[in-house]
Structure 1
Amino acid sequence: MSALIYRRAFTDTFGLRTFAGGEVPDLESVKRRIFITERRSAVDRPDHFYKNYLEVRLGRLSSVAALPWRVLSALAERFIERRNGKLCIRAGTFEDWREALPMISPIAVIVAFLVAEGRIAGDDDPRTRLTDDLGDTALLSPSNPLLATLIERDGLNEMHMHLNGATEADILWADAVRYPREYHDELMAAQIRAHGLTSQLYDQIELGLTPYEIFRRLRAARRVRHAMAEAFRQPQDRGQAPLNMSRLLTLMNVELDDREADFEPIAPASDPPVTAIWAGTSTALIDEGAFLLACLSAASQPGPLQEVMGLGLYFNLLVQTLVGRISMQQVDEVGFDQFQKYTVIGVRERLERAYEKRFSQLNIGPPHRVLTHLEGRLAPKNSVEELAKLVDSISQGWLRFRGCPRLSEARGLRGAAPRCMTGQFCGEGCAGGPSTGRDNSELSLVVHFIKRKLAPPSGRIPECRDGPLRADLARQADVVHALRQRHPFAAQILRGIDAAANELHASPEVFGPIFRRLRRDRDLHATYHVGEDFIHLVSGIRASAEALAYLGLGSGDRLGHATALGIAPALWLGRTGERLVISRGEHLDNATFAHALLSQRRGHERALSNLRDVIARRSAEILGEEHGPHLLHEAWRLRGLDILELLELERICDLEPGDAMATAAAANFRAEAIASPSRQDELRRLARAGREHPLAFRLFRQRHREQVVADQLVEVKTTELDERDLTAMQDLVLGDTNGAGVVIETLPTSNVRIAAYRGLADHHLFRWLGIATSDLSNRPAVCVGSDDTGIFATSLRNEHAAIFEVLTGHYGRPADEAIEIISRLNATGFAFRFRPLLQPPPRRLGSA
């Protein structure tokens, strides 16, 4: 609540269009649009609630030029303080601060605090002081001596983070405004790849917004920024008058290119504008902070530059907020479909081709001593050479970050991984120094295969569900296997496999064959994104159970997210409504799964009766005849079989699809005739299924032939199962998870953005811990990760800080108890991490 109105101050896209036409927007119109935008954030409050906030916070402004200082200084006063010489977020305001970050530049608020504080002299180059205060990140944390001591003693264990998508929005902005043409090219390339998904995001921000319009605004912002910086030089340096309003509006006009606007900066246009004030450059974040500090200092004090600096800053912040708006998921954009738009928009790709600065940012320093273990996710590639290049680039970034003297000899994944990647004291000058991180820090990589819908080749009828994706995954799995066979270095640090992206696009059964194939190879661990987003809560619970059943997850493995196993059913039911739309096939699968699960406990007779009716009706519609729940569940359990291997067997042996006995005999014969151990395993699984479950095998095969009716959408009641039924289902699957020795990775901020939560206090972690409620008899082992730190404007330290604040502030737990909970979560991560190998594995011959 403490950021209301202020957080919307720089989101006025209509005002930005006015500026871009060379005119100053009317102050009262700007305030009206801020009110309307904030009003839409919660429609259950009356107008006067927001109007009163608007009057208190922006009521007595003299002009739009006064907006930047008024807003940023107020936010700084509300959120930021200095304790023991360190900048931090005020106690009790952290959740409000984190919710404001997608709409407000944190570096701008921090600089406003520094200006008000008055510690940095106006004429001195402030970048050394800024580096001392910020290091490599603008994502401040609350002052928490207990958490700081835990980090100093043990370090944090990052269990789930995507290496791409990690760069902070302030750093993205500084790069985009320096290189608007290159930024535009990246947006255009992403728009072609994403098939209209990015256009949805542009229209959410501003109807009719295009990459070219963004480019024009960035180009204008670059002109304005250089002119503002040059205004601090003595006028006689170039024989020009100081910057005035007329000149500023000309530079803002996006209809003009640089030449038409008579734009000739002192330094090259791609240089940070701060170089026109103080010589040399620092990091992008620090240079941006120094530029803002000079401008905000002038805008906050009466003088010849106050008005023009205020107006220039307002235009700058409007364009910056637009760039931030397409870089970070907003708090009112719920669900994975919204999140996925940010993963494909293309704003980070060029900047994130190198990794060194990301490791510095994540470790928060200097000294960079936050992380003991970092598990970075990366996407697979279509050739060994491409994947080797990516792994080498990540490794080189790590070794540069560590200052490792073995950097050059390790290039190209040669030899063994340096000890500073595997948690050992290197003893070669790259560990233990003031800026290179913890002595025992280690890096592991996890390949996350992508859940997606792939169309079949032109003109071909699909032979099975997800056939094109299955074939693509098999090729990529071969690449991963070949890389680890060819490069012992890669085998040391590439320690796990995963599957990420929109789980509505592919289910766990699709990934079963490649998980089994790769896990024959040198002790690879596995985790799986699941139960994160779902049409029905039962769908998410079922997907979590399928990951356990089909992927062979066991002791030492993990599930990512598993929100469906934690979210309170009453909360989900209340926020979903009485009815929803789902496919006939998913409805049948859910009913079959729920019936099998609830049959294990007494007291669910009404639900079981209703489920039998659903199963009978839907099976008749989809399969042409009614089937009972037990047979359908038996067929459900077979879905982890390799359907591509079955299709190949049917083709070679001329088998009738669904002939279980003939398939069993052919599969056994074929297994003896081939050399690949993994294919032998899959064939024997097919043989066993056909021999032991002939009726279920026929239904399994039929499912891959009868798709049209199953995919038709129908409207159903969410209350077919009540809160008690859903809780029992969660509890039973959590019991299976614990029994398998599987740990759950929880990603708090990510889940709040994607699930039905309105704040972190709603998060299922506290239910799993038995703090929010004690309605689960099976509580899972849990570790913490940050997911996509750039898109969610977070860090692992801030994830733990936010959990701590909810434990103490919302649930009233004492600080010592809260830090003990944090410590246990962190220790679970350390115990179940996918640890890099200390030595290269022995070479093996043959295929997986």
Structure 2
Amino acid sequence: MSFRAMSSSAEELLAHEAAFDARALVDLAKCAFADTDSILSLERTANDSSGMPLAWSYVKRDAGSAWARAHAAGRFRQMRRLYPVLTDEAVENQISRTLRRLQSSSSTFWRQRGVSASPTGGSSTHSPLLLPELLARLAAMFLCEGRDGSIRVRIRHLSLWQDLILVVPPLLITSAFIAERIGPDQMNASTFADQQALVERFSRWFCDSTLPVDDDPFLDHLSTVEGFDETHMHLNGTTEAEKIWFDALERPQQVVGRLLARPLSRDSGLSVPIGDGVARLLLQEDGALSPDKLMQRTLDAVGLKAWLLQSVVSARGYSLTRPVVGRDAAASVVTWYRQTLTALLPSPLVKEMSRVVREAWQLVLIYQGIALGHLGSNQQVALWHYALLRAQFCRLLVQQAPHKGFDQFQYITLNELREETEKTYAERFRQIERGHQRGVSYVEGRFAPKASPAATADLIGQILRGYLEFLSEDAKGHKQNASVGTYRSLSDLLQMVREHEEFAAPNDPARPRAPQRSSRRLRLGLVPHFIKQSNAKERDAFFNATHLRAACREAALRAETDQRARALVALIQMTSGLESLIRGIDAASNERHAGPEVFAPTYRRMRRAGIVRFTYHAGEDFAHLASGLRAMTEAVLFLDLSAGCRLGHGTAAGLNPKRWWRTTGGTVVMATEDRLDDLVVARELLLQARLAFEQLPLIDAEIHRLSMRIWDDPRLTPDLLASAWKLRSLDPLVRANDHVDVDPHRQAEALLHLSAIRTEPSVYAHFLRRHGINASAAELRRAREEVVVSMDSDVLRPRDLRLLQHVVLKLLHDRRVAIETLPSSNVRISIHENYEHHHAGYWLGAGKKMVPTPVRVVVGSDDPGIFATGLRNEYAHLQNSLESQAKDRGLDVGNVLRRICTEAKLYRF
């Protein structure tokens, strides 16, 4: 072997070892912070003579060894869960190596701070006592400072960072990064001017967000010059988890109290009872966790943090009284915490700080207090206890990697912990714009319209008040105008918003002209989204009862959705200027609960009211890949999506069919009627595209078998079933005799029924039969019986599924419909193990095989708070994914991203 070859091999080994050590450090941090055994042990060993858990004493008698043993065991158990195929010895060796490397850097860590040894005397087995070193190592590995003065994530480590912050709150790490760069003398500056300057530096570090963006210069250029357009983001679910935590510390009864007040008897199952999903979310995190326990731990965290900050204040020469234990111990703890904050941060300084800066400032002071020896061993363990509680709370707000599927996502949206914080909206717009970075130029904020015009107007008013507050500020969050004025109606509020956006003269001469155009770059459009939801009792009665059956499938949801649509139309018609703010319509939530056919009449109502842009969540979560492709097809056809419209997710059209089958274990269980529908639609698409002729006889035979199993009617040919499927966009709550209804919309819907009756009476009859009209209870029961489909027996082979994907993508291309791709959301909900295998690479030319039809793709963040992301990071994840998949193929990833950025501007509503 030549010297050059040996050198290259050595470099590869070193690179491999460095990658292994980085991964191992992240794994250690994840396992340590997810260690619920430590929380239980710390709760047992912490004690106080007054009986209140406020001045803990952990290092007493054998208590220290007790929680250390619990931590070691819990950390090992978490690592076993992370790597189930490794032996115990392999797991033990990996932990040991990482701890030794962490311990070896500990002396350097403290020596750089002027301390001869760790003030806590931490050992290689007591990693809780190495928390400052661990956080500093993570900060050094992942973070750097950008040219704009902000904290950045090294883009080569972005995927690993994303994996870490699902478990470990990122502000704990970014604050450690700051603590390395500023000294205690700066934090304790005597003049207000110096303090202001430091607050300004903190502000530039964080940019109103707890989540730093990547350090890629190309994405800096793209965001600055072009500006990113957010085409898929739900306003509820946007707030970052740690911002919810800030409120939980200051107002635990209002934040966690909502979870306590929530009835925990809701069953989440569609086919069989599976229990309350939110209760299961708590138990997935910690087998000892309940709403009451979460409240107690939140109060413990309040007390812990107050004690830590009090120690910092005491080091400055101040003394604070302990809280008085009264009838309301919780209120005493919160009061003590607020008093401590007041002593720590004078009011004039607090006014200069954003919420993120205020929290980071406190953490830096605690870290520096440990480094200077002002906080002893008890306080350092208290910091570990606090960090564990903080991480556990945040994990209930962020979808975790092992928790796949939309249901897991939905449990987070239903747990009520976000509700108190998300009553107001200005902070969300600050978070999206990111202060001086200003990377997002436009956002479509999605919200759920209410059942009355007044309630919808109130919700839109809340959003606009937050938006107006945001517009009236500069990039530092300082008010540009002393007052934004008063308004008398929603139209008046809209006009004020337009004045700040465009610097337009007001129509009302009694109100002064807006002092200046807003310096904010971000502009807002609203997209109401109707919610897919299923009524369990109604569904059970429809398929299983012999009487009292609903008028049709999903009758309650159809009626409720139409009511909300009518209320929204009425509000638009009565509110001047609202039509320019409502940019399009969407239908969101769990697609297992309702299909596009349910929303087809609502979309037509909105189209008749003047709305021209539409999108729909489809092909995201499904039983069979063909089911996802059918949902996408139905969305396009039943909702009449055309040029300028979009489709949300569309995951089913990008996944590799063989890989999808492998993730299912090679077998799926689904309802007989769903399997029948999948085959009918697949057959129709393949026939239209003139593909897979050799497989059609087998598909026909399976369609006939399943149809006879349900309906026992040989007259139902595949062609008739396909024709009946095409009628599903009709509104079954409207009949032909409604063509004289006073509502013009119902008249138009009734005429569609009349046309179907006259053109294809037998097809229309089966359409009604499927909705329970002239159908027996036995037929409907059989429709929901399960059928098992395996990869080996499926008449839709993987190559047939790939052909169906091509047909669906061509349908989107021909209709000029774009796909909204959401990398983080897809990785959490779909089959992807990581970002590198994201299916958008197939659409964008980075896959092993080229997609035969060009695909229009735009990028969104979906629910940034729940997926711990933002639009800029979604572009960065997509960039890394494309580069990983394309490798040596010569794909110009920069041009691809430019095209996506341009498509977003063309397709934004």
State TM-score, norm by structure 2. 0.83
1:444-459 to 2 correspondences below 5 Å: 444-455=525-536
Aligned to 1:641: 730
Aligned to 1:399: 468
Aligned to 2:459: 390
1:49 is displaced (CA, Å) by: 4.2
Secondary structure of 1:9's counterpart equals: helix
- Which amino acid in the other structure matches residue 523 of structure 2? E
Say yes or no: does 1:76 pair with 2:139. yes
**Deviations for 1:793-829, whole angstroms, at most 9, x for unmatched residues?**
0000111122222333553379993222112111111
Seen in structure 2, the aligned counterparts of structure 1 residues 810 and 296 have a Cα distance that, compared at 3 Å, is farther
Say yes or no: does 1:123 pair with 2:123. no
Secondary structure of 1:81's counterpart equals: strand
Secondary structure of 2:864's counterpart equals: coil
Judge conservation of contact 2:689–2:807 (CA < 8 Å) in 1: no
Distance 2:814 2:316 in 1: 77
1:468 is displaced (CA, Å) by: 1.1
1:216-227 to 2 correspondences below 5 Å: 216-227=296-307
Distance 2:399 2:229 in 1: 25
Q: 2:43 aligns with which of 20, 44, 66?
A: 20
Q: Which has the higher helix share?
A: 2
Comparing 589-598 and 59-68, the one that deviates more: 59-68
Judge conservation of contact 2:841–2:881 (CA < 8 Å) in 1: no
Aligned to 2:93: 52
1:515 is displaced (CA, Å) by: 0.7
Q: 1:684 aligns with which of 751, 754, 770?
A: 751
Seen in structure 2, the aligned counterparts of structure 1 residues 411 and 750 have a Cα distance that, compared at 3 Å, is farther
Seen in structure 2, the aligned counterparts of structure 1 residues 262 and 515 have a Cα distance that, compared at 3 Å, is closer
**Deviations for 1:30-74, whole angstroms, at most 9, x for unmatched residues?**
123122213212423444443233112335542455142132112
Q: 1:154 aligns with which of 217, 226, 230?
A: 226
Seen in structure 2, the aligned counterparts of structure 1 residues 414 and 823 have a Cα distance that, compared at 3 Å, is same
Say yes or no: does 1:467 pair with 2:555. yes
Distance 2:516 2:129 in 1: 48
Distance 1:641 1:261 in 2: 59
Comparing 704-713 and 50-59, the one that deviates more: 50-59
Judge conservation of contact 2:306–2:337 (CA < 8 Å) in 1: no
**Deviations for 1:230-273, whole angstroms, at most 9, x for unmatched residues?**
112347967689xxxxx9xxx9xxxx9777989967x9346385
Aligned to 1:557: 645
- Which amino acid in the other structure matches residue 390 of structure 2? Q
Secondary structure of 1:151's counterpart equals: helix
Q: Which runs of 5+ in 2 are unaligned?
A: 1-22, 47-57, 59-65, 104-121, 190-194, 268-275, 474-480, 505-512, 542-546, 773-778
1:460 is displaced (CA, Å) by: 3.6
1:392 is displaced (CA, Å) by: 0.8
Seen in structure 2, the aligned counterparts of structure 1 residues 777 and 295 have a Cα distance that, compared at 3 Å, is same
Say yes or no: does 1:585 pair with 2:677. no
1:65-214 to 2 correspondences below 5 Å: 65-84=128-147, 85-118=149-182, 121-124=186-189, 127-192=199-264, 194-195=266-267, 196-214=276-294
Judge conservation of contact 2:846–2:891 (CA < 8 Å) in 1: no
Report sequence identity in percent: 31
Secondary structure of 1:525's counterpart equals: coil
Distance 1:117 1:631 in 2: 72
1:251-330 to 2 correspondences below 5 Å: 268-269=335-336, 271=338, 273-280=340-347, 281=350, 282-301=353-372, 303-330=373-400
- Which amino acid in the other structure matches residue 718 of structure 1? M
Say yes or no: does 1:566 pair with 2:646. no
- Which amino acid in the other structure matches residue 714 of structure 1? V
Distance 1:372 1:83 in 2: 21
1:217 is displaced (CA, Å) by: 1.0
Aligned to 1:827: 902
Q: Which has the bigger relative contact order, CA under 8 A and spacing at least 6?
A: 1
- Which amino acid in the other structure matches residue 37 of structure 1? Q
Seen in structure 2, the aligned counterparts of structure 1 residues 383 and 419 have a Cα distance that, compared at 3 Å, is closer
Comparing 634-643 and 605-614, the one that deviates more: 605-614
Aligned to 1:782: 857
Distance 2:283 2:316 in 1: 46
Comparing 597-606 and 484-493, the one that deviates more: 597-606
Say yes or no: does 1:608 pair with 2:688. no
1:658-807 to 2 correspondences below 5 Å: 667=736, 670-671=738-739, 673-705=740-772, 706-719=779-792, 720=794, 721-807=796-882
- Which amino acid in the other structure matches residue 560 of structure 2? D
1:718 is displaced (CA, Å) by: 3.4
- Which amino acid in the other structure matches residue 734 of structure 2? E
Distance 1:262 1:687 in 2: 65
**Deviations for 1:160-194, whole angstroms, at most 9, x for unmatched residues?**
10001111111111111221111232112444585
Judge conservation of contact 2:622–2:628 (CA < 8 Å) in 1: yes
Judge conservation of contact 1:391–1:490 (CA < 8 Å) in 2: no
1:410 is displaced (CA, Å) by: 4.7
Q: 2:520 aligns with which of 433, 437, 448?
A: 437
Distance 2:790 2:890 in 1: 44
Say yes or no: does 1:630 pair with 2:705. no
Secondary structure of 1:767's counterpart equals: helix
Say yes or no: does 1:534 pair with 2:622. yes
State TM-score, norm by structure 1. 0.88
Seen in structure 2, the aligned counterparts of structure 1 residues 163 and 422 have a Cα distance that, compared at 3 Å, is farther
Distance 2:430 2:515 in 1: 14
Secondary structure of 1:394's counterpart equals: helix
Q: Which runs of 5+ in 1 are unaligned?
A: 242-246, 647-666, 835-848
Aligned to 1:484: 572
**Deviations for 1:453-497, whole angstroms, at most 9, x for unmatched residues?**
125679942221111111111111111111111112322211211
Secondary structure of 1:772's counterpart equals: coil
1:216 is displaced (CA, Å) by: 0.8
Say yes or no: does 1:417 pair with 2:494. yes
Distance 2:437 2:535 in 1: 42
What's the Cα RMSD here? 2.7
Say yes or no: does 1:11 pair with 2:75. no
Judge conservation of contact 2:229–2:440 (CA < 8 Å) in 1: yes
**Deviations for 1:357-415, whole angstroms, at most 9, x for unmatched residues?**
110001111x2622221101101212111110110111111111010869434563124
1:693 is displaced (CA, Å) by: 1.5
Seen in structure 2, the aligned counterparts of structure 1 residues 89 and 430 have a Cα distance that, compared at 3 Å, is farther
Judge conservation of contact 2:671–2:787 (CA < 8 Å) in 1: yes
Judge conservation of contact 1:396–1:411 (CA < 8 Å) in 2: no
Distance 1:262 1:723 in 2: 59
Judge conservation of contact 1:573–1:718 (CA < 8 Å) in 2: yes
Aligned to 1:494: 582
1:221 is displaced (CA, Å) by: 1.3
Seen in structure 2, the aligned counterparts of structure 1 residues 286 and 424 have a Cα distance that, compared at 3 Å, is closer
Seen in structure 2, the aligned counterparts of structure 1 residues 389 and 51 have a Cα distance that, compared at 3 Å, is same
Distance 2:593 2:89 in 1: 44
Distance 1:712 1:54 in 2: 49
1:761 is displaced (CA, Å) by: 1.6
1:333 is displaced (CA, Å) by: 0.8
Comparing 595-604 and 147-156, the one that deviates more: 595-604
**Deviations for 1:328-372, whole angstroms, at most 9, x for unmatched residues?**
00011110011111111111111111101110001111x262222
- Which amino acid in the other structure matches residue 639 of structure 1? R
Secondary structure of 1:373's counterpart equals: strand
Seen in structure 2, the aligned counterparts of structure 1 residues 54 and 507 have a Cα distance that, compared at 3 Å, is same
- Which amino acid in the other structure matches residue 801 of structure 2? L
